[in-house]
Amino acid sequence: MKLVLSTEAVTENLDTRLIGQRVLCYSSLPSTNELAKGEARRGTVAGTVIIAEEQTAGKGRLKRAWLSPRGSLSLSVILYPGLEYLPSLIMVASLAVARAIEAVTGLKAQIKWPNDVLINGKKVCGILVESEVRGETVGYAVVGIGVNVNLRVSDFPELSLVATSLSQELGRAVSRLGLVKRLLVEMERLYLTLLDGGSIYEEWRASLVTLGKEVLVTSGGAEYSGIAESVARDGSLLVRRPDGSLSQIVAGDVTLRHQI
């Protein structure tokens, strides 16, 4: 089958020097992250991108499954960052997705901590960063991104209440090729800003829909309710508890108590 997202199409006039140096495209894969981890362990070039038209065993955060039928966008980017940059990859990926969606569709995208991208309060993209760290050294980091692009969410009952798609929000199909190219450009800009000593924290913080909201956070089996007061520079969430204390949460899952 001829791929819409082919190596030639994705790399043609791609305005990047790191991300997309090598692009591998597949009609179907179990999971782009799984393939990417194998490539990374074999030492493939930094900035390698793996794209699949569909995933049959897509992986979500917290060991959940991620649905990636045809019409969605599933990709993984392989990087070898220094340990100090690892926590910021979530910011790089979520901001890049938000910027790319806004540029390509004009839709306003917001980020729900730590890294879901929402449109009109519904999830349109999930991000799974997987890495191998030995002591102070990062073996690799794989940034996996799944976007609901051209899907009828109502065809997937498990998604219909919480998720949306770009085509559903826009009322027309969206070019996945245009979106992926813009996404790779934005990822590179943000990643290189970090490596050059710049900060992307302020933009990420300003894009968060979570701050100031009443939240319930589940993290490592514990639950924290309160007001999401702020985020630290390392990306952790600061929740003001009803007793006035402040909990710092590094990783978890947020439910907004009231819809936005």
Residue number of the CB closest to ligand BTN reads: 126
The Cβ of residue 115 has, within 10 Å, a number of other Cβ atoms equal to: 24
Binding mask 39-58 for ligand BTN (x = CB under 6 A): ----------------x--x
Chain residues 135-194 in contact with ligand BTN, contact rule CB under 6 A? 144-146
Segment lying near ligand BTN (by CB under 6 A), choices 31-39, 171-179, 187-195, 230-238: 31-39
| Closer residue to ligand BTN (CB): 90 or 185 | 90
Is position 74 an interface residue for ligand BTN (rule: CB under 6 A)?
yes
Q: Are 47 and 78 in contact (CB under 8 A)?
A: yes
Between CA 200 and CA 189 the distance in angstroms is 10
Give min distance, CB of 180 to ligand BTN, in A.
12
Binding mask 190-229 for ligand BTN (x = CB under 6 A): ----------------------------------------
Radius of gyration of the chain (CA): 18
Q: Are 252 and 218 in contact (CB under 8 A)?
A: yes
| Closer residue to ligand BTN (CB): 120 or 199 | 120
Is position 252 an interface residue for ligand BTN (rule: CB under 6 A)?
no
Beta-strand (E) ranges in the chain? 23-29, 49-55, 73-79, 109-112, 116-119, 122-134, 137-147, 214-219, 222-231, 237-240, 246-249, 253-256
Q: Are 165 and 68 in contact (CB under 8 A)?
A: no
Chain residues 116-145 in contact with ligand BTN, contact rule CB under 6 A? 116, 126-128, 144-145
Give min distance, CB of 51 to ligand BTN, in A.
9
Count of residues touching ligand BTN (by CB under 6 A): 21
Sign of CA dihedral 167, 171, 175, 181: negative
Considering only 64, 108, 233, 241, the residue that binds ligand BTN (CB under 6 A) is 64
Between CA 52 and CA 32 the distance in angstroms is 7
In the numeric block, which tokens belong to residue 144?
Answer: 């996996």
Residues that bind ligand BTN (CB under 6 A): 31-33, 55, 58-61, 64, 66, 68, 74-76, 116, 126-128, 144-146
